[in-house]
Every structure is written in C-alpha cells, then in structure tokens.
Amino acid sequence: MRIPILKLHQYLLISIQVELDDQTALQFQEDLLNKIHNEGSLGVVIDLTSVDMIDSFIAKVLGDVVDMSSLMGAKVVLTGIQPAVAITLIDMGIKLDDVQTALDLEQGLTKLQQELEG
Amino acid sequence: MKTQSCVEVKNEWGIVAARQAGRSLSKEIGFGSVDQARITTAISELSRNIYLYAKRGEICLEVVEKPSKIGVKKGLRIIAQDQGPGIPDIRQVMVDGFTTSGGMGAGLPGVKRLMDEFTIDSEAGEGTVIKATKWLR
C-alpha cells in the first residue's frame, strides 16, 4: 500500500487515510524523502485527521521522517492530530520534540509560509 | 459469562487485525473515543512485541465484569501470550526509555499507563503472558 503524496507549488501535501501498518509507514518515509528530493520541495504538511491511533512505532516513524526531511532542508508540519491521539501519546510518555504542529491543513500551510518567508 | 476472541500474531498484518478487533470490541462495550484509542494503542504495542521478540503468539480479547457500587462494571481485558524467549528482567523493561530493538522504549510502561490493570508473567525460554484490563467508567 502506498500513501499518495501531492505536490502544491513548493509544498508537498499528505493526508494519511489508511490504517497504518508498519510496512506502509516505512514505505511512506522513503517515498516522501524521494519526492522532496525530486521536486525540490521546501515544506511538507502531513495531515493526521483520519488517524485514530498512533503507537510508539508510528510515532517514531513520524518523528524520524520530520528529522530526515529537515536534514534535507524541508520543513514538516503535522496537522489534525485528534484529541484521543494527543491524550494517548502523552499517556504513553511519547514526546515529539521539535515537531511543528497545527490544528488543520490550512493552518499548517500558513505556518510553513510564515516560516519560509520570515 | 466470558466471551473470548483471539487473533494470531505472526506478521505485521496480525498487528493490524488485533488492533481492529480491539477497536470494534471497545466500541461495542461502550468505551468513549479516548479509551478506544488507549485500548487500541495498548493492543498495538503488545502485538508488536510478540511479533518482534517471539515471532508468533496471540492477542485474546475478553469482556470482563466485576461488581461495583452501581451494580456490575464492564471491562475489556487484553491477553497477549507467546512461547517466545521470555523477558529476563521485567523491572528493566518497565523503565521508560529502555529498549533492545532501537524503538522508543515506551511500549510496556506506556501500556501500563494506558490501562487500569497490568500484569506480566514471563519465564526465560518459556514465553510471556501479559494481561491488561480497562474498566468502563
């Protein structure tokens, strides 16, 4: 299974709408980095509105892909984290340090714009 | 009256299947969305441990009941069992940040915090049984 990555000007947009198994998550990591490389993207928004569970493995994959993208020079914003997911992550003691977040896709894009221009 | 259903975990799809079974049962019992997420996440951690360390095992889910002030209280119990290598030092794996797999080390202590009751039974070379229960508020 592949998660579609959409290009919008200098940005990449991803909305995760599938039940994330480990393989899909790792494949996504690789696909996103390749896409950043090929398109020369400056920013990425990963929307998690439809994701109803993030366990420690998926959290690690997401945190890693943010770090990896940043190494390449692209900024990533995670958006739409559900209340139940936020509560569970904190219960678990998982901290996504240095990860930019926003309430929704729109605010995520605004945040990227501000960061890249300001 | 106990109903139990089990999902075999021997690959990554087993993790997803166990998770889905947990979500639908917790919804059926009447857990709210936050507890549904807690239960599903706990199942995901436990089934990944089975796949990672024991290669195969099973996740069983049962509806449990206990008497309470307002009558009978319902809950969901997760039983994760395998015949894998076992856990040599249980105290060590319950420390936040301890990992042998390069993960976050949030798994077992995290599961304990997500659920209301948590027990580990493990013997080196014999396998591991972890039981975790969440009660309906």
**Average predicted confidence (pLDDT) for chain A:** 94
Q: How far is A15 from A50, CA to CA, in rounded Å?
A: 8
ipTM of model: 0.90
B20 at the A interface (CB within 8 A)?
yes
Provide the pLDDT for residue B113.
95
- pLDDT tens-digit readout, B117-130: 999 999 988 999 99
Q: How far is B129 from B70, CA to CA, in rounded Å?
A: 32
How large is the greatest C-alpha to C-alpha distance in chain B, in angstroms? 46
Which of B97, B58, B65 minimizes the C-alpha distance to B79? B58
Q: What is the mean pLDDT of residues A98-116?
A: 94
Residue B73 near residue B135, CB atoms below 8 Å: yes
Q: Which residues of A touch B16 (CB under 8 A)?
A: 19, 21
- Measured CB to CB, residues of chain A less than 8 Å from chain B are 19, 21-23, 52-57, 59-60, 82-85, 87-88, 91-94
Which of B132, B131, B128, B133 minimizes the C-alpha distance to B50? B128
Determine, for residues B104 and A84 on separate chains, whether the beta-carbon distance falls below 8 Å: no
Position B55, amino acid? K
Q: Which residues of B touch A85 (CB under 8 A)?
A: 37
Position B41, amino acid? T
pLDDT means per 10 residues, chain B with 137 residues, are 85 94 96 97 95 95 92 96 90 79 76 96 92 96
